[in-house]
Amino acid sequence: MSTAEMSETQIKVKLPDGSSRSVNSGESSAELAKSISQGLYRNAVGALINGELLDLYTPLKEGDEVKILTAKDPEAIELLRHSTAHVMAQAVQNIFPGAKIAIGPTIDDGFYYDFEIADHTLTPDDLGKIEAEMKKIADANQRLVRYNIPDVDKQLDEFRSQGEKFKVELLTEHRDHNPTLYLMQDKDGKTIWNDLCRGPHLPSTKDIKAFKLLKVSGSYWRGDEKKEHLQRIYATAWWSKQDLEDYLKRLEEAEKRDHRKLSKELDLFSTHDEVGPGLIFWHPNLATVRDCIETYWRAEHRKRGYVFVYTPHIANEQLFAISGHLENYSENMYSPMDIDGQPYRAKPMNCPGHIMIYKSKLHSYRDLPIRMAELGTVYRYERSGVLHGMLRVRGFTQDDSHIFCTPEQLEDEIGGIVDLIESLMTTFGYTYKAYLATKPEKALGSDEEWDFATKALEGAMKKRGMPYEVDAGGGAFYAPKIDVKLFDAIGREWQGPTVQVDLNLPDRFDVCYIGQDGNRHKAIMVHRAVLGSLERFVGGLIEHYAGAFPLWLAPTQVVVMPISDRHADEAKKLVALLADNDIRVQLDERSETVNYRIREAQVQQIPYMVVLGDKEVEAGIVAVRHRRGGSLGTMKPEELLAKLKEEIRTKESI
Ligand SMILES: [Zn+2]
Ligand SMILES: [Zn+2]
């Protein structure tokens, strides 16, 4: 064969280490893997081709950048979970032949699949049966083969004859996008089952070994309550049984910490049908926690030169026409209410209000920066299906601040915010990770403005040594931003602080200052929230602490228990001493046994229990117990007070 012929039948692809390799044209990552090593070929489950997750058997093209994936690559788990979803769908149809298949995407840590099953509501018992059927399918080592639908109309007829109405709807929609089926084939190449899907998938079911169906819930076709009612099975899949077990343990721990469950045990908050969903009522215990957080929040801001404001909850909608919210954000805003013939709206954000205060007088460069802060309550529409305890709600209070400054001050101002974030998040015991979200494709403002603002955000983090990753194109259309993700006590990720440099509102509202040159200049406006929404933050905090708030936040800090009536006077004296020193203390003089009262206080997660009996009264001391540490021995009342005060001051979490 001449060299010319060789080059016609061979193509070159690039590997992650930068080297090139030739394969025959028409070959896939599977053959590429084989040419590298038998071990890689055996373990390969898919490929990243030019950054896109694809089937191992996708034919390669000249110049493709190929990374062959094995179970060790984090990207590959998506293939496993999504392929397991098809195995689940196949199992459901084997057991319930009339079941109609909707969609089955992957989600965090797993996947779900929606089905319409007439005349049968799935039970936990069914989940066991479906799992057993899945195991049979997976063990049969079926191949998942991609199949381009050659004749869409013919395929539509077939789906219609099977009553697969959802597939008919999906295929009709995607008929011009090279729709594909995935065929599940046995070892003789016979197709046993198929599903409409774009892929990608594992090459076969042999790696599907560790999965678990978790729960069933109701859903609607396309999430639309007016459409067909479906049954959704949630499930998870992992590469190994050990990974699956570890995950189920984490899940169990998370369930124990669920803030809605803990709220019932500790009397923290409620929602009410007659009020409407997504509106939170803070009960006294949780209101105390919030009050402590707000007090701390205010002190930390005052120290850093912030000023505090209050703004109204409703405004003439003309304000939101100027701000652009009506144009860009109206699906999250509530309908107007009529006041004196004018349309008013509940505010979805605090920014326009703060701008009104800024603009109420003329500012010189000497007045800047102005750091304006408000615990501002806003109202946003969320679909009822996504509402979740305190974590996703319709009315909430943001710890919102806006900084108005000159371009020269911007980087220092952001630096100050980065410090504040660090300080607050450390106090609450969160670890975190920062992301610099840069200009998206569709964006307002010039490249120079974006560049300037992005560099200021980046420079501030660099100077402070705050590690960050770049989220390219992840900025808002009007602002580059820093997004901080928090990690809680059991390693779960939460949405955390945000800092945005606004390239839009200063123009819309003509937010200016008089410069040293005597001319008007556009001010820079920074939006930032550290806690985010108090509802979501405190809801997350309940789970982070598993209901055991540290002493400085605990609704009741100390409970005092006289052993019998003759110790009641001394107990009351101790209660008065502690209460006079701002300790949140309760007296439990019920005639129950001390052990019973201690157990109850522990269930209520009260940090300290103080017991007074003959011995203690006589010696002028008290016996102290900690909810986790058990007996701490005896001490004088003044010593106890000093210990409590110190633990509150340092905001220790024990
Ligand atoms: Zn699929
Ligand atoms: Zn704002």
558-650 and 3-70 share a CATH fold = no
Q: What's the pLDDT tens digit per position in 90-125?
A: 999 999 999 999 999 999 899 999 999 998 999 999
Ligand 2 centre to CA of 544 (Å) is: 27
Per-residue confidence (pLDDT) for residue 601, from 0 to 100: 97
User: Of 314, 379, 375, whose CA–CA distance to 348 is shortest?
Assistant: 379
Whether residue 88 contacts residue 203, with contact meaning beta carbons closer than 8 Å, is answered with: no
Q: Which amino acid is it at 26?
A: G
Cα dihedral across residues 99, 105, 108, 110: positive or negative: positive
Per-residue confidence (pLDDT) for residue 429, from 0 to 100: 94
Q: Tell me, yes or no, if the pTM score tops 0.85.
A: no
Q: Residue 7 pLDDT more than 70?
A: no
Mean pLDDT of the chain: 95
76-256: CATH topology: Threonyl-tRNA Synthetase; Chain A, domain 2 (3.30.980)
Residues, beta carbon < 5 Å, ion ligand 2:
351, 527
Ligand 1 centre to CA of 97 (Å) is: 20
- State the architecture of 3-70 in CATH terms: Roll (3.10)
Q: What proportion of the chain, given as a percentage, has pLDDT over 70?
A: 99
Ligand 2 centre to CA of 502 (Å) is: 8
In order, the DSSP letters of 160-229 are HHTT-HHHHHHHHHTTTS--EEEEEE-TTS-EEEEEE------SBGGG--EEEEEEEEEEEGGG-TTS-E
Residues, beta carbon < 5 Å, ion ligand 1:
197
Whether residue 574 contacts residue 637, with contact meaning beta carbons closer than 8 Å, is answered with: yes
Q: What's the pLDDT tens digit per position in 122-173?
A: 999 999 999 999 999 999 999 999 999 999 999 999 999 999 999 999 999 9
Average pLDDT over residues 425-439: 95
Per-residue confidence (pLDDT) for residue 572, from 0 to 100: 97
Average pLDDT over residues 251-277: 95
Per-residue confidence (pLDDT) for residue 8, from 0 to 100: 57
Ligand 2 centre to CA of 383 (Å) is: 23
Per-residue confidence (pLDDT) for residue 491, from 0 to 100: 86
Q: What is the CATH number of domain 558-650?
A: 3.40.50.800
- Active-site positions read 351, 380, 398, 400, 402, 481, 527
Ligand 1 centre to CA of 220 (Å) is: 20
Any idea which ligand is nearest the CA of 499? 2
Ligand 1 centre to CA of 360 (Å) is: 58
- State the architecture of 270-311+350-544 in CATH terms: 2-Layer Sandwich (3.30)
Whether residue 342 contacts residue 316, with contact meaning beta carbons closer than 8 Å, is answered with: yes
The domain locations on the chain are: 3-70, 76-256, 270-311+350-544, 558-650
Q: Residue 194 pLDDT more than 70?
A: yes
Ligand 2 centre to CA of 526 (Å) is: 8
Ligand 1 centre to CA of 257 (Å) is: 34
Q: Residue 3 pLDDT more than 90?
A: no
Distances (CA, A) of 552 to 126, 293, 379: 48, 9, 30
Ligand 2 centre to CA of 402 (Å) is: 6
Q: Residue 4 pLDDT more than 50?
A: no
Contacts of 312 (CB under 8 A, 6+ apart): 347, 353
Q: Residue 5 pLDDT more than 50?
A: no
Average pLDDT over residues 446-457: 94
How much helix, strand and coil, in percent to the nearest 5, is found in the chain?
A: 40, 30, 30
Q: Residue 1 pLDDT more than 80?
A: no
Q: What's the pLDDT tens digit per position in 379-390?
A: 999 988 889 999
Q: Residue 613 pLDDT more than 50?
A: yes
Per-residue confidence (pLDDT) for residue 333, from 0 to 100: 96
Per-residue confidence (pLDDT) for residue 629, from 0 to 100: 86
DSSP conformational letter for 336: P
CA-based end-to-end distance of the chain: 76
Ligand 1 centre to CA of 104 (Å) is: 8
Ligand 2 centre to CA of 400 (Å) is: 7
